[in-house]
Structures are given as structure tokens and as C-alpha cells.
Amino acid sequence: MTSDALPAKPGSVVVIDDHDIVRFGLETLIRQCPDLRFAGSAATLREGLALIAAEQPDLVITDMGTTDSRGLDTVRAVLAVQEPRATLVVSMQEELLYGQQVLALGARGYLMKESAHALVIPAALAVLRGGTWVSPQLNAKLLNRFLQRARPGPTEFSHEGEMELTTREIDVLELLKSGRTTKEIAASLDLSTRTVDIHRANIKRKLRLRSGAELIAYASSHL
């Protein structure tokens, strides 16, 4: 549920993205909106965290990947210093895979970069009003899941269920993409190798993959 009221003064916005053209484009759009104030941008996560600490922005718009960080770890790091203020993720990564995960971590919205030119300002304003922002496709998926859980008695899993990975399973996928072994993944995530093997098996089951090779190929093409 959202409120139509914006803060009395323009909401301050920090941008974190490792592409110069994206930072410039977002800055240009933000400066054109009277309800927003551009407070700075950063190309790396380290620079971004320092900027957030200095500016205390009302909103951070961040990619999931910078030169010094990747995936959900980027979102976790931003949220650790930004919460309880708002965070909007703008990324090229597949929304149906990552969107619900970043919301579960505490971000207020997820927007694909391909739609950012037209939608980043409406998304930013919606988040600053206290609401959330996701695509109609992800919104329908989340609503469908809510209705399934609310419906008494057994329910059938939809085909969309194959995409419903946990944040830890996505962490494992991201490390598989980077070429890590099971032992290395276990050490990185502070898990046992058996637990990592269980996560791998669950990912293959959910994504209907038949082998470890297909699992790595999926990670390489979707993350």
C-alpha cells in the first residue's frame, strides 16, 4: 500500500553503477525531476558505500554488479548501510529470478535496465512514497503465490515454481558461474560441502536440469 504524499523537499538520490553511460543517463533523468535531488554517483561498491554514509540519501539506485562486487552480495552490502531508507535495484539480470530475492532482502523495488529510461523516475517516486516497484509480470507472480498460500487444501505448483530459488541457492549459482568448486563454495558461504550439494540438487530439481554441466550452463547464461 502506498501513500501519494512525497516529502516536503526533493528526495535525495545516490546512484551506484559501473557503467559511465548508465550513471550519466540516470543523473540526467534525476536532475530533470523536481521531486528528486541528485546527491552523487559511484562506479564501485566501495565508493558507493562511502557516498551513502556521507550523504544519507533518501534513495539509492544500484546495479547488482560493480567492478568490485557481484549479485545479491552487492544488494546486501548496500542495504546494510542504507536501511531503513529506500533502495531500488536497476539491473540487467533476469527479474523473475532476482526480483523477489532483492525484495526479500529489503530492497523496495526492481527494475530492468531495458525499461529504465521510461520507468526509473516513476519507480523512484513510488518507492519514496513508501511503496514498491516491480514489473506487472513479477507482480502477477507474487500475487499468484500469495493466493495459492491463502487457498485452503492442497494446491498444484505452477510452472513458475521452477524459478523460485532461495537467496542462498542463488548465491550458490553465482559462485558456480565464477568457476568455484563445491569445496570453495562451502568455504565462501560458511557451509558444509554436504549442504552445498543439497543446494545444488535443489536448484537442479527446481530448474529441471539433468546434470552439473547443465547447471553451470544455466548459471553462465542467466546470471
Q: What is the pLDDT of residue 2?
A: 46
Taking the C-alpha atoms of residue 65 and residue 134, their distance in angstroms, rounded to an integer, is 19
pTM above 0.75? no
Q: What is the pLDDT of residue 155?
A: 41
Q: What is the pLDDT of residue 192?
A: 93
| Residues carrying CATH 1.10.10.10, the chain | 165-222
Low-confidence ranges of the chain (pLDDT < 50): 1-3, 154-162
Question: Do residues 134 and 2 touch, judged by C-beta distance below 8 A?
Answer: no
Q: Which of 141, 42, 47, 132 is nearest to 87 (CA)?
A: 132
Question: Do residues 17 and 23 touch, judged by C-beta distance below 8 A?
Answer: yes
Taking the C-alpha atoms of residue 131 and residue 124, their distance in angstroms, rounded to an integer, is 10
| Residues carrying CATH 3.40.50.2300, the chain | 11-138
Q: What is the pLDDT of residue 65?
A: 87
DSSP class of 157: P
Q: What is the pLDDT of residue 217?
A: 81
Under DSSP, is residue 40 helix (H, G, I), strand (E, B) or coil?
strand
Angle 123-141-135 from CA coordinates, rounded to 5°: 20
Question: Do residues 38 and 31 touch, judged by C-beta distance below 8 A?
Answer: yes
Q: Which CATH architecture has domain 165-222?
A: Orthogonal Bundle (1.10)
**CATH topology assigned to domain 11-138:** Rossmann fold (3.40.50)
Taking the C-alpha atoms of residue 213 and residue 204, their distance in angstroms, rounded to an integer, is 11
Taking the C-alpha atoms of residue 49 and residue 68, their distance in angstroms, rounded to an integer, is 12
Q: What is the pLDDT of residue 144?
A: 64
Taking the C-alpha atoms of residue 149 and residue 135, their distance in angstroms, rounded to an integer, is 21
Residue 116's contacts (CB-CB under 8 Å, 6 or more residues apart) are 22, 25, 26, 90
First-residue to last-residue Cα distance in the chain:
31
One-letter amino acid for residue 125 of the chain: L
